[in-house]
Structure 1
Amino acid sequence: MRPPLRIPGITELPPSATGMRIGLFGGSFNPIHAGHLLVMEETLRRLELDALWVLVTPGNPLKDNARLPSLAERVRAARAAIRDPRIRVTGFEAAKGFAYTWQTVRFLTQSLPDRHFVWIMGADSLADFHRWERWRDIAAALPIAVYVRPGAGRRALASRAAATLDHAQIDEAFAPTLARRPAPAWVYLQGRQSALSSSRIRAERTP
């Protein structure tokens, strides 16, 4: 656990209602870019979600966070970039002291059991999913939507996590049903792609 960090207007949980289908899209968003927005748009539409929560993490346990901008900066930048009112940006994980995705997933599914949550990730994340803390628990707690990323498709579909969860994959034609399916269940979504990445943008900005 991290020390809790509560910032008014930044770390509150978005409002929701019983029965809502809600996508959870987590990351550092350092910075947010058009590729992120494309994934949000496509998953909202193809999963037929009622809302999508962008979970801006205090820091990625698998990355060097030494030069990471403040949580408030990244939340505000993401909010400024998003126009769809169904998409809400929050840094609520910091207020709970969460360091890992499994903590976030456990909290949301237990405290809001009458919502239908779906975890959203890029194919590059699926390729490394087996490195996430308690990744099997995440897959057992809620459905997962994996969106194609340039150059990551083959590695993702040949990954340890994909092989382990092979029995739970559904055809993308049934993507609209994912949110209401019992876990484990996941779908691999093909579609429009963006070559942008946060690391590439940061590298181009560095003198």
Structure 2
Amino acid sequence: MPPGNRQMTVGLFGGSFNPPHPGHRLVAETALKRLGLSRIWWIVTPGNPLKDHGILRPLGERVAMARAMASPARMDVTAFEARYKVRFTADMVALVRARRPELRIVWVMGADSMATFHRWQEWQRIAEMVPIAVVDRPGATFAALASPFARRYDFARIPQERASILPYRQAPAWTFLFGPRDATSSTRLRGEAVMPS
């Protein structure tokens, strides 16, 4: 787990990153800038319970690719979930809070993930444990803002113009960040990789 101190605000950006792509980097950069974060951690998961593990590249390979994609200036790439044998995001966030209690943390995700967030294990526990920043993704805006999460926690939404206060708010609290979008997706990249030339 990367180091931290009480002066830091850290975005937790978890995913399979299978493979990582410029869209992931844009989400991370948007969160860093708009939330005023000190750092963002790319947390490469051993495997997403909602996705097919048969097409999952080895963890070490995905970590190396994420390091090549992330900016070393303010981004850390880690796979500590594997070491602690953590399977679900709710447990991972609880682990970070237990081991780095001095940090102000925010969960960062793309709008495409928000659209299906209600399918995650203990999604309401996550929402009530950590502030959440959602970064717009092509084709996902409406589904995200109409999702069960958005409806359930509408009262806790912070306007994007005030997004920089999110790391200092008690959960539940969330914001939706509009801005430049990148249409690259891991699913499409994997499809292109297996297509005959």
Normalising by the smaller structure, the TM-score range is: over 0.9
Q: Please give the alpha-carbon distance, in whole angstroms, between the structure 1 residues aligned to 2:32 and 2:101.
A: 21
Q: Please give the alpha-carbon distance, in whole angstroms, between the structure 1 residues aligned to 2:138 and 2:55.
A: 26
Name the TM-score, length of structure 1 as normaliser.
Answer: 0.92
Q: Please give the alpha-carbon distance, in whole angstroms, between the structure 2 residues aligned to 1:163 and 1:150.
A: 21
User: Deviation digits for residues 42-70 of structure 1, max 9, x if unmatched?
Assistant: 11011000000000000000011112111
Q: What is residue 106 of structure 1 aligned with on the other side? A: 94
TM-aligned CA deviation for residue 77 of structure 1:
1.1
> Does the Cα contact within 8 Å between 1:47 and 1:178 map onto a contact in 2?
yes
Q: Please give the alpha-carbon distance, in whole angstroms, between the structure 2 residues aligned to 1:131 and 1:174.
A: 28
Q: What is residue 49 of structure 1 aligned with on the other side? A: 37
Structure 1: gaps of 5 or more residues: 1-12
Q: Please give the alpha-carbon distance, in whole angstroms, between the structure 2 residues aligned to 1:55 and 1:131.
A: 20
Single out whichever of 79-88 and 61-70 deviates more from structure 2: 79-88
Q: Please give the alpha-carbon distance, in whole angstroms, between the structure 1 residues aligned to 2:86 and 2:44.
A: 12
Aligned partner of 1:162: which letter?
A: A
Q: Please give the alpha-carbon distance, in whole angstroms, between the structure 2 residues aligned to 1:110 and 1:173.
A: 31
TM-aligned CA deviation for residue 196 of structure 1:
0.4
* 1:180-191 matches, cutoff 5 A: 180-191=168-179
TM-aligned CA deviation for residue 92 of structure 1:
0.3
Are 1:79 and 2:67 an aligned pair? yes
Aligned partner of 2:65: which letter?
A: A
Name the TM-score, length of structure 2 as normaliser.
Answer: 0.97
Q: How many residues align?
A: 195
Q: Structure 1 vs Structure 2: percent identity of aligned residues?
A: 49
Aligned partner of 1:21: which letter?
A: T
Q: For 2:109, which of 118, 121, 142 is the aligned residue?
A: 121
Q: Please give the alpha-carbon distance, in whole angstroms, between the structure 1 residues aligned to 2:70 and 2:144.
A: 28
Aligned partner of 1:170: which letter?
A: I
User: Deviation digits for residues 168-195 of structure 1, max 9, x if unmatched?
Assistant: 0010011011001111000000000001
